[in-house]
Chain A
Amino acid sequence: MISFDNVTKHYKNTSMPALAEIDLNIEQGDFVFLVGASGSGKSTLLRLLLREETATSGTVTVDGVNVAKIRHRDVPAYRRNMGIVFQDFRLLPGKTVFENVAFGMEVIGKHKSEIARKVPALLELVGLEEKSHRLPSELSGGEQQRVAMARAFVNQPKLLLADEPTGNLDPATSVGIMKLLDRINRIGTTVIMATHDVATVDQMRKRIVQMEDGKIVRDQERGMYGQSGQAL
């Protein structure tokens, strides 16, 4: 589904490439942890997938499409095939839980009746149907992240990108979020999650891609964070 073929990304005014000759394949339905220190290239990898950036050399292919070749005006349509969750939740403080999720549908022109039908179903998926009229400030961090996940899922994307989704949450709450991600993964969604969270990674026992200085130093099925990176 996703393939990085000899991908290098060089940002302007930097001496070291953010990504250096990366090769990576991810199949539909995979659950992949992207681990590594800050600045190791995790975020750049996600940004290339979102097409917020394009590779300096090499090709990124998603669903058979060369991402760099997508025309500017077709980028929004491309992004509707993926959902994204951030560390800081990015909820709108003035809108209720329901409205926050609805916002994601309104801005892509979905009809009111579809929104009224779909949003409750999404809130039920993340276990917040009872709190749909609360404001984000009245929710715990974990609940806020669930709202953000419901919103990321409005288009039923085939791919969910999560950038440190548990970074601001305590371990117990993180478990809940991971269970939800696991559930989303089990219905066929590919999940790519960038994280520092050792406990979470070890507990899930999923595929681990470890990065260092823009290179992949480990790609392991059912891995643990703690295992030191061995040469591929």
Chain B
Amino acid sequence: MRFSFVRSEVANGLRRNFTMTVALIVSVAVSLALVGAALLMRAQVDRMKGYWYDKIEVSIFLCGKTSVAFTCTGTVTAEQRANIETVLGSLAPTVQEIFYESSQDAYGKFQEQFAGSAILANISPDALPESFRVKLDDPANFEKVATALQSVQGVESIQDQRQLLDRFFQILKGLQSFAIAIAAAMLFVTVLLVMNTIRVSAFARRRETSIMRSVGASNISIRLPFILEAVVASVIGSMLATAGILATKYWVIDARLAPNLTFIPFITWSQVLAIVPVIFLAGVGITVLASSITLRRYLRG
């Protein structure tokens, strides 16, 4: 089977089947773009988790003047504070680092965060509780710390920052599942489109294929032009999907989101580029599979 002959057969097939080919390209592009989006979202969540979990602390707020928790009897005493620190110290290696933040420190941070805001005037240092900030070896070990401290005198409340983040990650995960569901549906449509395109194509060229069979052309050389037709369409579709994803990274993430949301670590170019081969493999793999199965049915040797 000579290359130039296969090439002209494929070009002819694509031209004759123009509308189907366009439909196939668009369908492949949309479904793969969605697959890519789902993969990017996963990479984004992983990256944010890695970044934020590293910074996560457990805050142990101590009793203030107005605290009502049953472990509180007015402002925490120096003795109680020392006891809490001892309990925390005994929790090593789960507890890795312990910082003490006084009401005055908290007020300083608050001033920094809300500089220029009217809210500052209403807040005095004693309205902000003093606290221990604790770094854990693994954020998942929060329960250990909570159980050890929840009934210790002088502790007003224990806050796990991870819980705040996890709610946010849950939303992202939901979005990701949604994208995967749509991508799966689109891929299914793409498979059907490939099958239909191949069937129409095989029917339009039944005379050619019957001649090929009768002169003893090998099965692969009879089927190759059809499969290559689908592959050409899927490669073009994959390129469009890739272009869409790269454009999203360049124009949406890098140009718009990243400068405005500096506290979020966005996916890097290398993470985006790692998705490209997956898109091409998925696109070409699915079309080759779908067209081979169809040809087996419609071009019996």
Contact = CB atoms under 8 A, between A and B. Distances in A.
Nearest to B225: A107
B210 interface: yes
A159 interface: no
B301 A151 contact: no
Contacts of A109: 1-2, 221
28 contacts: A72-B301, A73-B218, A73-B219, A75-B301, A76-B216, A76-B217, A76-B218, A76-B301, A78-B216, A79-B213, A79-B215, A79-B216, A80-B216, A90-B207, A90-B211, A92-B208, A103-B211, A104-B215, A106-B2, A107-B5, A107-B211, A107-B212, A107-B215, A107-B222, A109-B2, A109-B221, A154-B215, A155-B216
A107 B208 CA distance: 10
A79 B214 CA distance: 7
Interface in A156-213: none
B216 A77 contact: yes
Interface residues on B, range: 10 to 19
B104 to A, nearest CB: 85
Given A78-B216, A106-B2, A107-B212, 12 more contacts: A73-B219, A76-B216, A76-B217, A79-B213, A79-B216, A84-B214, A90-B210, A92-B208, A103-B211, A106-B5, A107-B221, A151-B215
Interface of A: 50, 72-73, 75-81, 83-84, 90, 92, 103-104, 106-109, 111-112, 151-152, 154-155
Contacts of A92: 207-208, 211
A95 B50 CA distance: 64
A80 B1 contact: no
Interface of B: 1-2, 5, 207-208, 210-219, 221-222, 301
Contacts of A151: 211, 215
Nearest to B5: A106
Chain B facing A: main interface SS: helix
Nearest to B206: A90
The 10 closest A-B pairs by CB, nearest first: A80-B216, A79-B216, A107-B217, A104-B215, A76-B216, A76-B218, A107-B212, A106-B5, A84-B214, A109-B1
A108 B211 contact: no
Contacts of B1: 107, 109
B2 A112 contact: yes
Contacts of B218: 73, 76, 108
B203 to A, nearest CB: 15
Contacts of B219: 72-73, 76
A174 B221 CA distance: 35
Contacts of A106: 2, 5
A2 B215 CA distance: 19
A17 B241 CA distance: 56
Contacts of B211: 90, 92, 103-104, 107, 151
A194 B98 CA distance: 98
A139 B221 CA distance: 30
A228 B207 CA distance: 38
Contacts of A84: 214
A152 B211 CA distance: 9
Nearest to B205: A92
Contacts of A80: 215-216
A83 B211 CA distance: 10
